[in-house]
Structure formats: structure tokens, C-alpha cells
Amino acid sequence: MNTTSEMRMGAADRRRYNLFWFSSPQTFFPLAGRLAPWFAIAAAVLCVAALYVGFLKAPTDAQQGESYRIIFIHVPAAWMSMFLYVIVAFWSAIGLIFNTRLSGMMANAVAPTGAMFTFVALWTGALWGKPTWGAWWVWDARLTSELILLFLYFGYMALHAAIEDPRRADKAAGILAMVGVVNVPIIYFSVKWWNTLHQGASVSLTRAPTMAATMLIGMLLMALGFWMYSIATTLWRARCIVLERERNSDWVADYVRDQR
């Protein structure tokens, strides 16, 4: 809580409901610190519940036996990898449109988590593919486009790291993220557009799911748990980025002094 440093705003601003109150690093920092532990707890609870459902409650698959259970990690991780890339592109767009510092910091905070989930999706997919398809990897449309997504994440992080001025780095990497977002629909629709080895969509927003209810519940719980985890790590990572970038400001000096 940064009650030690005064925020110099007029009384009128404070009373009026301001949608952009938390869009400055100084106000966002304590909010993130307060919220992140709750998301982390929610993530832990949901992930444990999902693993319980997945390993102990869900029935054995008729065709694949027990090896299908990796779906409870593979599919939510893949969903998160695509969703988080769209989030990176979203915050980059906001940063470029409104010229805000914090949006670029948020995009930077989300990217490593997204890259991690992409890697997990690819890795668990390979582990699943070996017993079921007989191959660790095939070059079908969905796997190839997910691999390209991983490269796009790496490209985003590499470009940002290569440019010294953080604001310029945010903008350049943001442009790259927005150019790459065209890949996400390709991944999503690849199983519909091409004849692929990867299984088609069993879960849809419009039709009833074609899998057992327990399996679906397990997957959704895990997806929610991963989402809470992503928010928690993003908020913590964003706090670190805010401290680094705003290190020359008074409120950071006060905060660091109070921590000692």
C-alpha cells in the first residue's frame, strides 16, 4: 500500500468515477499486489480440483485407455497459448492507440506466460502423440501453426529485448504482436480447413460437446485454473516491470525505502 506518498490529484477527480484510474503505473502497482495472491489461490484450488476430476473421476476412454488423460493439461494449455497471444496483441494495440506506458508493460508481462503455455501444449501433445499416433511429431496444420505461435512469442520477446529504449521497444514489439495475431485464427480453424491428423473440435460454443461430461468439466476446470494462474503471474511480473521502468520516480523510491 503506498499510503506514504501523496498522490497529487484534485478532490474532484478522486470523487468522480474514473475508468482510467488504474492505468498509471503508480496506481496499478498496489492494486496488482493486492489482487495477485487471490488469483494464485484460485489457480491452485482450481488446478487441484481439475487434476482430481481428471485423474480420479473421469472414466477410461473407450479407444485410448488411460493415456488420454494428458488432455486435461494439453487442451487448456493450448487454449491459453492462443488466448494469451490475443491478449498481448490487445494490450499492444491499446498502448499504440492511447500512448500509455502501462499497456506495453502488461503486454510484456503476459508474453512469457503465453510462450510457456505454448511450449507445454506442444510438449504434452508430443507425449500424447507417441502412444496414439505412433509419432512424436507430424507436420500437420495445427501442430505447425502452434509451433509458429511459439516462434512468434520468441520473436516478440527477442525484439523487445534487443531495443534499449523501453518505450520504443514496447511499440516495435507491439506492432510485431499485432501482425502475428493473424496466426491465431489459423491455428483455431486449421482442423476445419485442412485434412489434418489432429483431432477436430469436440467442444464448441454452439453445439453440445461430443465428449463425456466429466472429461469436459475436468478440462474446463483446468482451463479456468490456468487462466487464474496466468493473471496471477502477469500481475506479479507486471509489478516487477513497473518497478524497473519507474525506478527514477519518487513513489518507487518511497516504496523501496519502506521495504527495507
Partner 1 sequence: MNGMLQTLGVVVYRDLLLAFRRRSDLANTVLFFVLVVSMFPFGVGPEPNLLRAVAPGVLWVAALLASMLALSRMFAGDHADGTLEQMVMSSVPLSVVVFGKVTAHWLVTGVPLVILAPVLALQFDVPTSAYGTLMLSLVLGTPVLSLIGGIGAALTLGVRGSGVLTALLVLPLYVPVLILGAGAVDGAAAGLDVTAHLLLMGALLVFAMVFSLWPVAAALRVALE
List of residues contacting partner 1 (CB under 8 A): 96, 144, 148, 151-152, 154-155, 158-159, 162-163, 168, 171-172, 175-176, 178-180, 183
DSSP element (H, E) containing 240:
helix 213-245
Closest CA to 167 of 96, 219, 68: 96
Nearest residue (CB) to partner 1, 86 versus 203? 86
**Helices of type H across 5-70:** 11-15, 25-52
DSSP letter (8 states) at residue 93: H
Return the number of the residue (96 or 126) whose C-beta is nearest partner 1: 96
Which one, 179 or 256, has the nearer CB to partner 1? 179
The minimum distance between CB 45 and partner 1, in angstroms, equals 37
In the numeric block, the cell 534487443 is attached to 162
Residue number, 85 or 229, with CB nearest to partner 1: 85
Chain centre distance of CA 154: 14
Whichever of 11 and 97 has its CB closer to partner 1, that residue is 97
Question: For partner 1, which is the closer residue by CB, 26 or 92?
Answer: 92
CA angle 116, 219, 112 (to 5 degrees): 15
**What is the Cα–Cα distance from 209 to 49, expressed in whole angstroms?**
21
Min dist CB 217 to partner 1, Å, is 35
Which residues are CB-neighbours of 247 under 8 A, at least 6 positions away? Answer: none
From CA 173, how far away is CA 163, in angstroms rounded? Answer: 9
Q: Using alpha carbons only, what angle is made at residue 93 by residues 87 and 98, rounded to the nearest 5 degrees?
A: 125
Residue 65 dihedral angles phi and psi, to the nearest 5°: 70, -135
Shortest reach from residue 185's CB to partner 1, in Å:
13
Nearer to partner 1, 69 or 142 (CB): 142
Smallest distance, partner 1 to C-beta of residue 31, A: 29
Residue nearer to partner 1 on the CB measure, 133 or 151: 151
Q: How far is the CB of 175 from partner 1 (least distance, A)?
A: 5
How far, CA to CA in Å, does 236 sit from each of 105, 153, 164? 12, 20, 23
Quote the CA–CA distance of 132 and 134 in Å, as a whole number: 6
Shortest Cβ 131–partner 1 spacing (Å): 28
Smallest gap from residue 199 Cβ to partner 1 (A): 21
CB of 230 to partner 1, least distance (A): 22
CA distance 258 to 127: 48
